[in-house]
Structure 1
Amino acid sequence: MKTVDCGKQVSVDLPLNGLRILDVANGREGMCGRLFADLGAEVCLVEPISGVGARRNAPLVDGYSVDFAVHHANKMSVELDLTDPQGQSDLIAMAASVDMLIASFESADTVWPALRSTLLARYPKLVVLSVSDFGLYGPYSRFVATDMVQIAMGGMLARSGLAGREPLMPPGELAAETAAINAAWCGMLGLWQLKQTGLGDHLDFSILESTAQILDPAFGVTGSAAAGRTLFEMIPRGRPKKTQLYPIFPCADGHVRICILNPRQWNGMSAWLGDNHAFSDPSYGNLGKRISVIKDVNALIAGLFADKSMADIVSEAQARGIPAASVDSIEEVLNNEHFNARGVFTEITLGNCRGRAPVGYLEVDSRHAGIRIPAPVLGEHQDVVAQWSGSRAEKFIGDQAQVHEHADKLRPFSGIRVLDLGVIVAGAEVGRIFADQGAEVIKVENKDFPDGLRQSMTGEPITQSFAQGQRGKQSLGMNLRSEAGISLFKSLVATADVVMSNFKPGTMESLGLGYEVLSEINPGIVMLDSSALGNSGPMSRTMGYGPLVRCTSGLTALWSYSDEAGSYSDGATIFPDHFAARVAAFGVAAKLLQRERSGRGGTVSVSQAESILAAMSGLFLRESIEPGTAKPMGNRKEFYAPSGVYPCKGDDEWCVIDVRSDAQWLSMCDALGLSALKNRGELQSNDERLRHRDEIDKAIRNWTAAHSPLEVLSILQSHGVAAGNVQRLNEYKENPHFLARDFFRELIQPGLTEPLTTENGPVKAANLPDPDIRPAPFLAQHTRQVMKRVLDLSDEEIDSYVASGDLMELDTPLPS
């Protein structure tokens, strides 16, 4: 177990050493700046005289905010009054020596727009990242939001929960946590664009758009069980039925989940059930046939598991080749042998209490890059104001980057070549977002072992989901199980910048393609490995799917109704795949920046489970100090009232209202005409509202039931109250805010009869072009072109490799 060093920051060779950032945030998206700090950047939190509001956010332990402790570790703190001209002048002077400024202000802030304009005009090589609820323009730009509102309006809530019940809010603060990491990725894009063009930028980042893009994207790539369908096709409006594909079964001492997708896995399960069950015929290895009788199949499995322990079931399942995991509580995760062997948790002190929290998101060069020093005392580094004011001898990027004559046409990763071995969702997505930003991404795949993402219900060569996740890439058919195929791959590595994979840990080494080998060929190569549970530790090589990762990380146990035991409701989500892809992309981009200075590459490792843990850092820290606090909360926030999901007029229509201040309480009462409640003096206190929340919720439900979700949104937002409609996927394309901000693009994909609606870029910016939307490749479509262009092979040499099976080409002509 690691302990935070409360003295000076440990001197280690981290990728972003030398990068300097001003974090002028209100504290809500603090993990954005912390991710940069985790990788070595100097991040200075600029706070008002009383400190950012996050210092007072509940829950408090011994007077200290749990959330502040985890979101602002590794940072410095200075106090500046930005409503005062001297404070503004000090900030402008400090900005002269920084590379980036991160700011998140409320929509009603009157100081930030002018201050931002001054900064951008004075420092043309400064990257300014503005993080706000809805972005700085568009019809919702003046609205206010909380995490609950973002989850509702971003389209996730409509698909969470059980059919026949109210939608269920996911645990934690997933919208804010994932948006913070996505914002960090966008900040990294701004830095790379500065490097390419010599121009700084203003990045307008919207939490709503981030929520729609990376939690459960309607138009994004989905897992292999979806058989090529996007969520938009599968669940256009309502909540899905209780999933049968990733069933959870009660057992002697808890619950277990299994994922049986392919025939081999079913054969293992069938043998476990015995010789005489009704589904022993091998034809039930076909997923489609098995789905038709899945209730009866699962009833058999439930009977088998009922009297067995979680540990015995998981052990036997793994031995039989059946992916399985126990549904672990947060307490069990804190004591997990695998996570502790990997050093996933670190100790943090809050007053007189000591607790444990996830150390960070990434491993870089085989070391966890995470918490090294505790969150700062208010104004602890006030001398930084003087130290950072004025010019700086050498900035991380800005002073070296020359303004390019074609700056408006360049993308951040123009000139970067990626060899993409990634499969399914997380593997597909990280390569895709690099391709969107100008990288040349070559998908290396084998016809005999195709990416599971290529499967479909009807056998078509391309699907909507595959097109969404693989757009902009080239496909190279190559056999990495042959000596010649390995040799050709190594020749490609000599020309490449990045190799990405998300195989079971140890696979690349078993192929003779581990980092030690490839770095001998190309010392500048950056290698990414992404896995379910990390590349080391006792569970590292167990089979891992997203639903199992959520169980092992404690997320599934929390994602249930508080009044219904066993009502686990995460079966339809594909979290954290798209989110983990941004974590991985950030790490790779940081490592590439370090290579610009050192000439050497290195490794980046991402564990999907640890991405979930880090996104729930506050829950773990509090549970470690106050056992029993991490439990399903349903749709009510523990520390605020009123807050919840309320019924609306219409068929299964819902809204969210989340009041976080006394002023919003009074405004809500005015909007809903609840004068009797408004005039009750004791309800002016949040503590009293918590005690009377049942009465308050009843009054709210009576009002919302007579209004549509959009009416609730309009009426309450016009009064400055955080409220939102529970948006369905079939409402996306008509959303006025999405349309105003060009959230959608069109993808023309050969093999599909209609154009696809796809997502645009992750942030709005003056100097960052929108992605170049190009189709996804057919398997081995570009083999000949890649071999000619990159390795200068002749047609005769390529023909010989194809004949021997070392290379593969497209079998049939491309469809129109």
Structure 2
Amino acid sequence: MPAIRGLPLAGLRVIDLADGKAEMCGRYLADLGADVIRVEPPGGAPTRRREPLHDGVSLYFATHNANKRGITLDLNDPAGRYGLLDLAAGADFLIETERPGTLDRLGLGVDTLLARNPALVVVSITDFGQTGPYRDWTGTDWTHLALGGVLSRSGIPGRRPVMPPGPLAYESAAIQAAWAALLAYLNRLETGRGDHVDCSVYEMTAQALDPGFGIGGSATGGVPATKLPRGRPNAGNLYPIFPCADGYVRICVLARRQWRGMFGWLGEPEEFADPKYDSIAARFGATERLHALIGALFRDKTKDELVARGQELGVPIAALLDPGEVLAGPHFLARGGLLDAEIAPGLTGRVPSGYVEVNGVRAGFRHRAPEVGEHDDEVSAEPLRTTITKPTEPAGPRRPLDGIRVLDLGVIVVGAELGRLLADQGADVIKIESLAYPDGSRQSVTPGETMSVGFAWGHRNKLSAGINLRSPEGLELFKRFAKESDVILSNFKPGTLESLGLGYDVISELNPRIIMADSSALGSTGPWSRRMGYGPLVRAATGVTGLWRDTGVEAGFCDAITIFPDHVAARVGAVAVAAALIERRRTGKGGTISVSQAETILTQLSTGFLRESLEPGSFTAHGNSGEWDAPQGVYPCAGDDEWCVVSVEDDEQWRGLCAVIDRPDLRADARLGDAAGRRAHRDLVDAAVTAWTTGTPPREAMERLQATGVPAGMMRRVTEYLDDPQLTARGFLRETHHPTIGHALRTENAPATFRGVADPELRPAPLAGEQTRMLAAKLLGLAESEIQALIEAGVLEEPTVQNERN
């Protein structure tokens, strides 16, 4: 297959054996230009029959296998196994999702594959990893959301926790797996050696979706998830939702100027004229009265009227759109974030096009998923490729981004996380900041402290340079840094860097090798691009808020506490940066990367949106009832606010469940012998499961069900990670110290388990401007007297409070 021009992974080959778990990993690599060959057994992969089906077409398969070529190989036959080994000999990556040990039993284990091609990067994506006491357990998206700490923070206080919409665990894990794969490949480019990348969906869910040991946003008020109340937190008043004439709108009034706009919109009521209400804390204390006024103002106006007026007044606001409204809206269509395409022969639907733009062009949907064996003849006719590399360094783990310099202008969560991901892998990440415009995460510290736990997590391994970019001298200093750097990161409102004279056109003239990666709420172009973007508003505008709700309560919206999609969007950007670095080795040229948080959400929910386009009204909130089988739900267990997810996916698991809960009568009931029958009698099935779980502690329920092959996962709180035997066995958390925080911190470790990639270093997050003097001297060659003069002039900045680093 010829290289795909203009895409950064052109020329790389991926053998994709993934089926049903994180198939979007190979799809994202294909979007970025890799030649991804989907290998299926004769008759097709099981996910070709995965629901939802439309005219016999699996919409899941269609969205997750676009841009790939497809061949058939029978791996139970010697000829098929030889064929796979021949393909692997010329491949750069092989992705597989079999249960641990399955490929070994076929004679296709990792050591065999690496013996055939020592440069191959083998990516194994399993529910719980290749090692540890849970390694043979079975997971589903819901069990991972329960075990991964997401479920415990989702729902209305005092009520049953609520499952988020869509397959967010596997979709988020797929992106992290792609990141880990490209890290191993970058390492190979330096060492000549391939790798085995062991990806655990359980761990990746806990890291990538809404991490308990990662930087948080204003949703937690600066309080780390480890310190949140035991029950579901009540954050609804922070990002309130109000009914209006034709639905709901959400506002995010945080900053003083935003409050001033809201105050004026209300007609400047005397009772809120006191300047103390410029403080969010004072407004929070008057929530009941203030929200009553806003509710009365909004009640008889339409969503469009309210959003338009809010934009005029500088009040962050968004309409809660349903999936049909998202699909019909002008913004994503204008940007190409949604497009109408043939998704199977003769079947056209509207589908999210993909995660990222590269050099101003969408790296997304190009062609439909292959038919079974569609490219058998084409691939077999191609000359056999061989990948020949010679090790260039002694064996031993290393960090693949060593020697890469990054200027990090990122702020809050998504900005912090992207820079941190690069810094963890050895990049020299310099956080550029200014006291006049501090990172919002710097402001979430307890009075009297200089560093929050969240900031320490989100900015570990970085350096900080204080530069006033509002001064001409500061801009020139930044350009001097940029001239000698590899990557620039930012997540400002679109157009901000250009207004400062720091757009790609300017910087690339100074440094043609520079890679500039930006992210924004709704994208850098399109009719909504200049809207104020906070995560809660992005979720509202993409349909997530309306889908993520307690269906037993009027307006039971449950997404206020989550930070989704910030950490996922950061990983989307990290994958694209890694791909651009790979391309730069080939071409010598840099480029641009642009990530939209909204389109991150759309792509993660692509199957649901495609189905909605074909079957209007199908993409709706289901709460805790799975759509395709039963039991699939969240069940109460013995203890205080203890729950267990049970998620049966086939008849064999159903029979195992009946045995565990000692209900042979249910197993013998012909009405319940298949998924359709169990769905039709869901109340009967749920009652039987509830009767058993109510008297069983959650861990016992999970372990007994898993021992019989039934997917189950207890609702785990973030603080319970510390005692989890699987996470402990796999080194999920490490201990670190920050000199300004008076206690040890537990922090997440690597994105996956590698053979050749070292674990992250754990250097403490910097104070604002802490390394200004050192960096000005070392990288810019400034004398101490020059540095001092620039500091006195306010061009360079250093910490206002000096802290001894012990």
Q: TM-score range by the shorter chain?
A: over 0.9
Deviating more after overlay: 86-95 vs 275-284: 275-284
Structure 2 residue 641 is matched with structure 1 residue 652: yes
The answer to whether the Cα contact below 8 Å between 2:219 and 2:560 also exists between their aligned partners in 1 is no
Give 1:227 deviation, angstroms: 4.2
Where in structure 2 are the equivalents of 1:246-265 lying within 5 Å?
246-265=239-258
Distance in 1 of aligned mates of 2:381 and 2:790 = 61
Distance in 2 of aligned mates of 1:770 and 1:388 = 39
Where in structure 2 are the equivalents of 1:163-174 lying within 5 Å?
163-174=157-168
Structure 2 residue 464 is matched with structure 1 residue 475: yes
Partner of 1:347: 340
Where in structure 2 are the equivalents of 1:632-671 lying within 5 Å?
632-671=621-660
Where in structure 2 are the equivalents of 1:79-158 lying within 5 Å?
79-107=72-100, 109=102, 111=104, 114-116=107-109, 117-158=111-152
Structure 2 residue 452 is matched with structure 1 residue 463: yes
- TM-score norm. by structure 1 comes to 0.96
Structure 2 vs 1, CA of residues 703 and 676 (structure 1 numbering), >3 Å: closer, same or farther?
same
Partner of 1:176: 170
Which residue type is aligned with residue 671 of structure 1?
V
Partner of 2:409: 421
SS in 1 for 2:112: helix
Give 1:352 deviation, angstroms: 4.4
Partner of 1:323: 316
Which residue type is aligned with residue 507 of structure 2?
L
Distance in 1 of aligned mates of 2:799 and 2:653 = 61
Partner of 1:760: 749
Match of 2:207 among 202, 206, 213: 213
Partner of 1:161: 155
Give 1:730 deviation, angstroms: 2.1
Which residue type is aligned with residue 480 of structure 1?
L
SS in 1 for 2:505: helix
Partner of 1:300: 293
Distance in 2 of aligned mates of 1:352 and 1:440 = 50
Partner of 1:3: none
Match of 1:442 among 421, 430, 435: 430
Structure 2 residue 544 is matched with structure 1 residue 537: no
Deviating more after overlay: 140-149 vs 193-202: 193-202
Structure 2 residue 302 is matched with structure 1 residue 313: no
Which residue type is aligned with residue 132 of structure 2?
G
Partner of 2:667: 678
Alignment RMSD (CA, Å): 1.6
Partner of 1:813: 802
Deviating more after overlay: 179-188 vs 451-460: 451-460
Which residue type is aligned with residue 571 of structure 2?
R
Distance in 1 of aligned mates of 2:92 and 2:431 = 34
Deviating more after overlay: 713-722 vs 269-278: 269-278
Give 1:225 deviation, angstroms: 5.1
Partner of 1:5: none
The answer to whether the Cα contact below 8 Å between 2:3 and 2:10 also exists between their aligned partners in 1 is no
SS in 1 for 2:291: helix
Which residue type is aligned with residue 721 of structure 2?
Y
Distance in 1 of aligned mates of 2:197 and 2:100 = 16
Partner of 2:576: 587
Match of 2:38 among 38, 41, 45: 45
Give 1:563 deviation, angstroms: 3.5
Deviations 1:251-295 (A, max 9, x none): 111000000112121121122222334222111111222222223
Give 1:145 deviation, angstroms: 0.8
Which residue type is aligned with residue 652 of structure 1?
D
Distance in 1 of aligned mates of 2:702 and 2:281 = 41
SS in 2 for 1:204: strand
Partner of 2:699: 710
Deviating more after overlay: 716-725 vs 46-55: 46-55
Distance in 2 of aligned mates of 1:143 and 1:47 = 24
Partner of 2:535: 546
Match of 1:694 among 683, 699, 703: 683
Distance in 2 of aligned mates of 1:387 and 1:372 = 23
Structure 2 residue 88 is matched with structure 1 residue 64: no
The answer to whether the Cα contact below 8 Å between 2:569 and 2:595 also exists between their aligned partners in 1 is yes
Give 1:745 deviation, angstroms: 1.0
Structure 2 vs 1, CA of residues 141 and 446 (structure 1 numbering), >3 Å: closer, same or farther?
same
Give 1:383 deviation, angstroms: 2.8
Which residue type is aligned with residue 104 of structure 1?
T
Which residue type is aligned with residue 304 of structure 1?
L
Structure 2 vs 1, CA of residues 334 and 612 (structure 1 numbering), >3 Å: closer, same or farther?
same
Structure 2 residue 350 is matched with structure 1 residue 356: yes
Distance in 1 of aligned mates of 2:721 and 2:715 = 11
Which residue type is aligned with residue 416 of structure 2?
A
The answer to whether the Cα contact below 8 Å between 2:16 and 2:26 also exists between their aligned partners in 1 is yes
Pairs aligned (count): 802
Where in structure 2 are the equivalents of 1:753-792 lying within 5 Å?
753-792=742-781
Deviations 1:340-397 (A, max 9, x none): 11111122334544210000000000010001010000111113553567443xx5xx
SS in 2 for 1:274: coil
Structure 2 vs 1, CA of residues 534 and 262 (structure 1 numbering), >3 Å: closer, same or farther?
same
Give 1:122 deviation, angstroms: 2.7
The answer to whether the Cα contact below 8 Å between 1:95 and 1:389 also exists between their aligned partners in 2 is no
Partner of 2:489: 500
Deviating more after overlay: 139-148 vs 562-571: 562-571
Distance in 1 of aligned mates of 2:34 and 2:135 = 31
The answer to whether the Cα contact below 8 Å between 2:213 and 2:746 also exists between their aligned partners in 1 is yes
Give 1:9 deviation, angstroms: 8.7
Distance in 2 of aligned mates of 1:693 and 1:275 = 53
Give 1:403 deviation, angstroms: 2.5
Structure 1 residue runs of 5 or longer lacking an equivalent are: 1-7
Distance in 2 of aligned mates of 1:210 and 1:410 = 21
Structure 2 vs 1, CA of residues 387 and 764 (structure 1 numbering), >3 Å: closer, same or farther?
farther
Match of 2:360 among 345, 366, 372: 366
Match of 1:16 among 9, 12, 22: 9
Structure 2 residue runs of 5 or longer lacking an equivalent are: none
SS in 2 for 1:245: coil
Structure 2 vs 1, CA of residues 811 and 693 (structure 1 numbering), >3 Å: closer, same or farther?
same
The answer to whether the Cα contact below 8 Å between 1:353 and 1:625 also exists between their aligned partners in 2 is no
Deviations 1:783-812 (A, max 9, x none): 011111111111111112112211112233
The answer to whether the Cα contact below 8 Å between 1:10 and 1:372 also exists between their aligned partners in 2 is no
Match of 1:33 among 20, 23, 26: 26
Which residue type is aligned with residue 351 of structure 2?
A
SS in 1 for 2:130: coil
Distance in 2 of aligned mates of 1:427 and 1:391 = 40
Which residue type is aligned with residue 303 of structure 1?
A
Distance in 2 of aligned mates of 1:677 and 1:277 = 65
The answer to whether the Cα contact below 8 Å between 2:219 and 2:235 also exists between their aligned partners in 1 is no
Which residue type is aligned with residue 48 of structure 1?
P
Deviations 1:16-70 (A, max 9, x none): 1000110011243211001110011000011111211111000101100001000
SS in 1 for 2:14: strand
Distance in 1 of aligned mates of 2:85 and 2:383 = 8
Which residue type is aligned with residue 666 of structure 1?
R
Structure 2 residue 268 is matched with structure 1 residue 275: yes
The answer to whether the Cα contact below 8 Å between 1:505 and 1:540 also exists between their aligned partners in 2 is yes
- TM-score norm. by structure 2 comes to 0.97
Which residue type is aligned with residue 56 of structure 2?
G
Deviating more after overlay: 591-600 vs 286-295: 286-295
Distance in 2 of aligned mates of 1:227 and 1:620 = 32
Partner of 1:4: none
Give % identity: 48
Distance in 2 of aligned mates of 1:74 and 1:536 = 25
Deviating more after overlay: 36-45 vs 555-564: 555-564
Distance in 2 of aligned mates of 1:159 and 1:758 = 19
